[in-house]
């Protein structure tokens, strides 16, 4: 093996050793979805309870959509799913921001 080839092989080995390792192994999809959906489900439940402690769904319907026959239970359900979508998007955005950069950024070349 020529000295130039040996130097290149050593340099490649050093670059691989210096490359940052992943912070943790990739997680299964079920674990990723659970980490996003479960906290947002809980937060949506709390937000729904707090919101409807002060607001009557029928009064809200009369103000916003008086022509639709929405029951009190349907108002609770619609609001819960809206709160869940809002808190799930917040959890998803947090998860996106907290992913390790080493998975998406290629190592710098010399």
Q: pLDDT per residue over 33-72, tens digit each?
A: 998 999 999 999 999 999 999 999 999 999 998 999 999 9
CB under 8 Å to 32, separation ≥6 — which residues?
95
Residue 39 inside a domain? The answer is yes
Residue 56 inside a domain? The answer is yes
Residue 15 inside a domain? The answer is no
- Which parts of the chain fold into alpha helices (H)? 3-18, 29-54, 57-64, 72-98
Residue 110 inside a domain? The answer is no
Q: Per the structure, how many domains does the chain have?
A: 1
Question: CA-CA distance, 110 to 90, in Å (whole number)?
Answer: 38
Per-residue pLDDT tens over the stretch 66-96: 999 999 999 999 999 999 999 999 999 988 8
Residue 4 inside a domain? The answer is no
Range of the domain at 81: 27-103
Residue 11 inside a domain? The answer is no
Residue 35 inside a domain? The answer is yes
Residue 14 inside a domain? The answer is no
Question: CA-CA distance, 32 to 92, in Å (whole number)?
Answer: 10
């Amino acid at each position: 093996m020529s000295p130039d080839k040996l130097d290149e092989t050593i340099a490649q080995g050093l670059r691989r050793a210096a490359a940052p390792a992943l912070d943790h192994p990739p997680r299964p999809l079920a674990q990723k979805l659970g980490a996003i959906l479960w906290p947002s489900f809980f937060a949506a439940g709390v937000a729904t309870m707090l919101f409807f402690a002060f607001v009557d769904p029928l009064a809200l319907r009369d103000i916003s959509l008086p022509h639709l026959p929405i029951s009190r239970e349907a108002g609770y359900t619609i609001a819960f799913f809206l709160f869940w979508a809002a808190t799930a998007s917040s959890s998803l955005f947090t998860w996106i921001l907290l992913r390790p950069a080493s998975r998406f950024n290629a190592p710098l070349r010399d």
